[in-house]
Chains A and B, each alone.
Chain A
Amino acid sequence: NTIPRFKLDEKLYSDPFIKDLENRKEFVASGFRTDYVYERVLTEAFM
């Protein structure tokens, strides 16, 4: 079942900590994705 049980809408979140990481060179080059971070913590919250 790949239908997620919650809506993830990045535009709604203001997370200065994650936003900062997202623009760092080594994070961009590594393939860092903010949606993966948000999905992880929202899953743990709604679990």
Chain B
Amino acid sequence: YRHSSQYRFWSFSKERLREKRVNTNKIAADTIYKNILDFKNQQDLTQEQLDVLDARTQPLSVDDELKLINFYAKKVQVISQHLNLPTEIIATSISFFKKFFLENSVMQYDPKSLVHTTIFLACKAENYFISVDSFAKKAKPNREAILKYEFKLLESLKFSLLIHHPYKPLHGFFLDIQNVLHGKVDLNYMGQTYDKCKKKITEAILTDVVYLFTPPQITLAILMIEDEALITKYLELKFSVNSEKKNNDTISFSTLLTIINDCKSFIQEEKSVSTDDARKIAAQNFFCQNPMDL
């Protein structure tokens, strides 16, 4: 995992993640300020017009940007589900979209114009090839709109297209729980747990946990939300078995439990963005790039 591009390029501490967003936002905001200033100097505006400009063309704050990104990331999920794409490809689409807007600001690229491009590239990257014409037929925009930012997207992704999602670890833990708790788990119950957790993983991928934790840690956090007793028992047994072999690379149970609970609270505290909020932020985003329209 440490050799993977996901670990090398896309794993951050909370602080580093915040710092990246602040930087991305600042670069775009500085451009906005400059453009608005130029606009004011070029136009002969009344005081009232200047007041409106100042009130309605402020660049987006980092938090407002994040709301808009999350709102459209949800749209990526809905549209790719609507296209009946396999679960992992939906997850890859969401991941591509979020990463693009970690490197670029919504004030530089309209998130609407990246939604389909991220899904299209995710299909290609996951060997689920759909020609752009048939894609354009199913989705809304035309082929030029889909292809317009493909290169820019690939570059923003730092050319890392292989993503480890928490789904395979879910399958792995489904098997290993049977091994460690042999004979003590009801298989039907495990099957239902598996299905519920699979859905929850897709929700979790919409949050920042994908940057802060490894896929198996996210899976264990989701399993913990689903059935705390079962997972705690599983981990206690698994690590207590190992702890007899005092070898240097034994993962410490308490450390892992802290990480899992940290991840769990991250997933649970995530709030979705209302359409109303998104609309207001999108309007501000539009006007700060198009003061003449205002």
Contacts and interface: CB of A to CB of B under 8 A. Distances in A.
B178 A13 contact: yes
Contact of B216 (A13, A14, A46): A46
B169 A14 contact: no
Nearest to A13: B175
B221 to A, nearest CB: 13
Contact of A45 (B173, B178, B182, B187): B173
Contact of A42 (B176, B182, B191): B176
Contacts of B174: 15
Nearest to B179: A12
Interface residues of B, number: 20
Contact of B172 (A12, A14, A16, A41): A41
Interface residues of A, number: 15
A43 B175 CA distance: 12
Contact of B175 (A16, A42, A47): A42
Interface of A: 9, 12-16, 38, 40-47
Given A12-B178, A43-B172, A47-B215, 14 more contacts: A9-B179, A12-B179, A13-B175, A14-B178, A14-B187, A38-B175, A41-B171, A41-B175, A42-B176, A44-B172, A44-B216, A45-B172, A47-B1, A47-B169
* Complex A-B, nearest 4 residue pairs according to Cβ-Cβ distance, in ascending order: A45-B172, A44-B168, A41-B172, A41-B171
